[in-house]
Structure 1
Amino acid sequence: MNILVIGATGDVGSEAAKIAVAKGHKVRALVRSTSNRDKLGEAKSKIEFFEGDILDKTSLEPAMKGIDALIISIRLTPGEIKKGRKYEDVELTGVNNLVEVAKKNGVKKIIHVTAVGVGPQSVSDMYMAKHQSEETIRNSGIGYTIFKPSGMFKDFQFFHVPNVLKMGEAAKWPFGPVTFHMNPLSHVDLAKCMVDALTNPKSANKSLEIGGPDCITQGDLLNMIAKEAGIKANYTEGVSKEQLIEMVKANPQKSFFTAEQIKDFMNDTILDHKGIKDIFGIEFQHVSDFVKKAVPAVKAAMAKQQGK
């Protein structure tokens, strides 16, 4: 199958591209001239690269010719925000452009990633753009599978692990409630399912909320990190969602997320992992396995940074 990956230099997209190459698919990647392709590893030599921008439809045409399937794994980065781009630009206009050019070129399948909780009830610019992109794909007439993940290990490695290490023997988490549930998963496992969905009839034309095998609270995660780090911390208290929203409203410049975005994504989520496993048949990584690898990796990175 001839596949075009959008977001092939990101965490999920790069894994999807590598897995697709390993499975014998012919893979193309749409990239910017400045994109760092290192995450693609040895697969780089087997991927055909096209330079372009999802906001420029004419730049999509060469990459899309002869393509059977499209994998979309995009997100608005802090760098793009600094340049003035908005969620609507990337996750709505960009997806609309991709779908339009895909239809023109006879693409038969689209694999797309949004987030659990995205829907018509969404109130933030981020989640409304994601919802509208889902609707564009569902109404396109092209076969699709939309994945809606519940928390990603990579985000924990970026935020939760370093903050637990910095806070030491704490009992209160100042960044939100400790009681809400989630089914987090590895970006590698998500990528495996995305590539499998290209040919798996069980996932055809479905929007799938997807999570890992462990349903845990945020407090569970924090305590697992602390235990692995050898820190005597027990996170039994947090800041309520309502308190956090008021804090962000009072000092919006200090938060990466807006109050509306927090309303959308900080919700109690308990997913049916068995249903996902029945569709894709893979063994998902457990949170405990992730924590065992992430804590020493973050410790080493922090020590290296302090030594500079």
Structure 2
Amino acid sequence: MRVLVVGGTGFVGRHLVALLLQRGHTPLVLSRTPRHLPPGAVHLPGDITREVPDLGGVEAGIYLAGIIRERGQTFHQVHVEGVRNLLQGLERAGVKRVLHMSALGARRGTGSRYYETKAEAEELVRESGLSYAIFRPSLIFGPGDEFFGQVLRGLICGPWPFVPLIGDGRFPFRPVYVGDVAEAFAQALERVLEGTFDLVGPKEYTFRELLELCQGILGRKKPFLSVPLWLTDLAVPLLSRLPFAPLTRDQYLMLKEGNTAPFPEALRDLLPAPKALEEVLPTYLRCSGALPS
């Protein structure tokens, strides 16, 4: 199957493109540069937030593009305008099938521009008239991830003698492995799975438990310093304006809310044995060297 993949050079996209190739599909990756593309993938130069090239011969579209920080592009451009452009391009080409990556917790009225633009994109997909599957992953972990590999590692491996803990750290999460996210998309493509699905891992953790797990893997034993929510509510909006802020305003709002859901029964056949965080995190979490840029 010839599959258009938007966001195929990103964190999830690289795993999905490789998996599609393994399964005999031809991924056509729409991106501004051909970086990270393996042999067999076809590069379509372009910017989905501006226009869509001719999609003749494409049999399905997958939209993975997303940002967590607004650097040169806005949430609305990437999460909404890009999806709208893709849907219009698919309609012009007569393509009937689209898969979309949203986010667990996406909905209107949250105060998070990330969540609200993801929710707006979901509405566009549902109203498109196309056959669709929408996946809403929780925190995605794996080599190259931002949350575990950068945010949590930065909190633990920083020069200070403590680990900052936001509030009591009881916010719940159910992280999902990037390979399982890619597998869900590939299976949904082949089985023509329909609907909207939360995509989570096999186990739930509090934020404090995630920090404790990471500390154990990194061999650090720093004490936690609880930072009251009222103080972080004041500090994060100010600090997030800095170019290298460890936590953006939207990340903070999502962190306080937590990010968890039951594992959906509809995905049991697709992911019968989702990988646990403890199985994968030790393979790539390290304190040595500089933090990734």
Q: Is the 8 A contact 2:187 2:270 kept in 1?
A: yes
How far does the alpha carbon of each residue in 1:217-259 deviate from its partner, in whole angstroms, 9 at most, with x for none?
Answer: 1111111111122222354x63355542222234442446654
Match of 1:87 in 2: 75
RMSD of aligned residue pairs (Cα, Å): 2.6
Q: Is the 8 A contact 1:223 1:233 kept in 2?
A: no
Structure 1 vs Structure 2: percent identity of aligned residues?
Answer: 22
Q: Is the 8 A contact 1:228 1:292 kept in 2?
A: yes
What one-letter code is carried by the residue in structure 1 that aligns with 2:280?
A: F
User: TM (normalized to structure 1)?
Assistant: 0.83
How far does the alpha carbon of each residue in 1:45-102 deviate from its partner, in whole angstroms, 9 at most, with x for none?
Answer: 2111111111232xx233x211111111112375xx443x211111111110100111
- Between the two proteins, the alignment pairs up a number of residues equal to 287
Unaligned ranges ≥5, structure 2: none
Q: SS state of the match for residue 214, structure 2?
A: helix
What one-letter code is carried by the residue in structure 2 that aligns with 1:61?
A: P
What one-letter code is carried by the residue in structure 1 that aligns with 2:47?
A: D
Q: In structure 2, what is the Cα distance between the partners aligned to 1:250 and 1:9?
A: 32
Match of 1:157 in 2: 149
1:142 and 2:142 matched? no
Match of 2:97 in 1: 109
Match of 1:15 in 2: 15
Q: SS state of the match for residue 159, structure 1?
A: helix
Q: Is the 8 A contact 2:198 2:263 kept in 1?
A: no
User: TM (normalized to structure 2)?
Assistant: 0.87
Q: SS state of the match for residue 145, structure 1?
A: strand
What one-letter code is carried by the residue in structure 2 that aligns with 1:200?
A: R
Instruction: Show the 5 A alignment for 1:265-276.
Output: 266-273=256-263, 275=265
Match of 1:220 in 2: 209
The alpha carbon displacement at 1:261 in A equals 5.7
Which residue of 16, 40, 59 corresponds with 1:68?
A: 59
Normalized per residue, which structure has more helix?
1
Identify the range of structure 1 (139-148 vs 161-170) with the bigger mean alpha-carbon deviation.
161-170
Instruction: Show the 5 A alignment for 1:176-255.
Output: 177-201=168-192, 203-204=193-194, 206-233=195-222, 235=224, 238-254=226-242, 255=245
Match of 1:36 in 2: 35
The alpha carbon displacement at 1:214 in A equals 1.3
The alpha carbon displacement at 1:161 in A equals 1.9
Q: In structure 2, what is the Cα distance between the partners aligned to 1:247 and 1:303?
A: 23
Q: In structure 2, what is the Cα distance between the partners aligned to 1:293 and 1:130?
A: 31
User: Cα gap change, 1:68/1:239 in structure 2, threshold over 3 Å: closer, same or farther?
Assistant: farther
Q: Is the 8 A contact 1:168 1:233 kept in 2?
A: no
How far does the alpha carbon of each residue in 1:13-38 deviate from its partner, in whole angstroms, 9 at most, with x for none?
Answer: 111111111111122111213x422x
Q: In structure 2, what is the Cα distance between the partners aligned to 1:303 and 1:55?
A: 30
How far does the alpha carbon of each residue in 1:258-292 deviate from its partner, in whole angstroms, 9 at most, with x for none?
Answer: 54663345313432126264141342221112221
The alpha carbon displacement at 1:119 in A equals 1.0
Which residue of 15, 35, 39 corresponds with 1:45?
A: 39
User: Cα gap change, 1:145/1:225 in structure 2, threshold over 3 Å: closer, same or farther?
Assistant: same
Unaligned ranges ≥5, structure 1: none
